Amino acid sequence: MVSFVSSKVQPLFASAVFTITKDCEIHQVLVYDYADPEGTYKALVEDKTAFRNEVSTLRWNMTEFLDAEKVYINDQRVTQEILHVDIGFRGSYDIPYFQWVIHFEGITRDGVNSLKSIVDEETTEYDLEVLYLFPTGTEIIEVKTPMEYKIQDSLLFVWAREGDKVGGYEEVLFRFPSSK
């Protein structure tokens, strides 16, 4: 499917937040911000049929990307499901954003758990930031990624700047706090 996006619409920034439960249920909120100086998306939201078609196209395109990405929880491949897709604006019609809410889950093990992703490596054309929210008390043991990262208690911050390598093999090893 071809998106409505014109060549004048340029990516500015991407962010993702992963919320991980002790049961290894994961919700991801993925947002891409764009520069749209010609008002392509302003016109789109004024046409309800075109808007619905574009949201459908965004869902289809992301589904294809997610199907190509290999995600594993504790060495078991998991299926990512898109729960929601939307188009909105950042205070101005010149800055549209696309949002996806994605869900997947795996089986927790005692001790060290693993969240792994394998996707084609590429050079990013925009800055991106990712936040992993683990349950309080989770120990993040090891992070394997080509991107920069910082561990702060049970939070993992990952980022890349325009021109950085992203993707490839990524893995986070972690231990949930023991139940008492």
Residue burial 70-87, b: 16+ Cβ < 10 Å; e: rest = ebebeeeebebebeebeb
Is the model's pLDDT at 180 over the cut of 90? no
Least confident stretch, 39-43, 74-78, 100-104, 135-139: 39-43
Look up residue 21 and give its two tokens. Answer: 């439960």
Whether 132 contacts 16, CB under 8 Å:
no
Q: What is the pLDDT of residue 6?
A: 53
Beta strands in the chain (DSSP E): 10-20, 25-35, 70-73, 76-77, 81-89, 96-105, 112-123, 127-133, 139-144, 148-152, 155-160, 165-175
Mean pLDDT on 143-160:
98
Whether 28 contacts 16, CB under 8 Å:
yes
Q: What three-state secondary structure class fits 147?
A: coil
Q: What three-state secondary structure class fits 16?
A: strand
* Whether this model's pTM surpasses 0.75: yes
- Tokens 């005692």 locate to 110
**Confidence bin at 178 (pLDDT 50/70/90):** confident
How far is it, in rounded angstroms, from Cα 60 to Cα 22? Answer: 30
In the chain, the percentage of residues whose pLDDT exceeds 70 is: 95
Look up residue 28 and give its two tokens. Answer: 């991801």
How far is it, in rounded angstroms, from Cα 64 to Cα 80? Answer: 11
**Confidence bin at 49 (pLDDT 50/70/90):** very high
Torsion of CA 123, 142, 67, 58, to 10 degrees: -60
For the chain, the first-to-last Cα distance in angstroms comes to: 50
